[in-house]
Structure 1
Amino acid sequence: MAVRTSAARREVHDGRTVGEGRLVALDVAAEALSVSVKTLRRRIADGSVRGYRVGRLVRVDLDEVRDALVVEIPTV
């Protein structure tokens, strides 16, 4: 499903467009980052990842989750 805006065309896949990122279901984010849904729920609970409630559903911004979870390994 594609959503057209007056400024630009944005693609929406399994989620909604918010600002520059996308809100996606926890299972979609977990699969994209190769972590479990339980890990994402723990990170939301400890505050390191921000969750958004849409009705009764919990969504996360895929870009925010990627920034919070993906850490570069320093080289020697």
Structure 2
Amino acid sequence: MQEAAEYLGVTDRTIRQMIADGRLTGYRSGKRLVRVDLNEVDEAMQPFGGAA
């Protein structure tokens, strides 16, 4: 999750919120470790604004 947060320039909390609201799927590995698929992270990001 930390790598995904760094990749997007956001906090871990933002990634957790994206998992909670269904924009991303979290994959539990062990008791505490949660992973996300960076391909899914790219797909979840939608352009908006001027050039979109």
Fold shared, TM-score > 0.5 on shorter chain? yes
Q: CA deviation at 1:53?
A: 0.4
CA distance in 1, matches of 2:51, 2:2: 32
1:72 maps onto 2:47 in alignment = yes
Q: Which runs of 5+ in 2 are unaligned?
A: none
Q: In proportion to residue count, which structure has more helix?
A: 2
Structure 1 length as normaliser, TM-score? Answer: 0.58
Shift of 1:71: 1.7
Give the alignment partner of residue 5 of structure 2, picking from 30, 34, 37: 30
What CA distance in whole angstroms lies between the structure 2 residues aligned with 1:75 and 1:59?
32
Alignment: residue pair count:
50
Aligned partner of residue 41 in structure 1, secondary structure: helix
- In the alignment, structure 1 segments of 5+ residues that lack a partner are 1-25
Structural RMSD (CA): 1.7
2:39 is matched with which residue: 42, 63, 66? 63
| TM, length-normalised to structure 2 | 0.80
4+ runs of 1 displaced by more than 4 Å?
A: none
| 2:7 paired with 1:47 | no
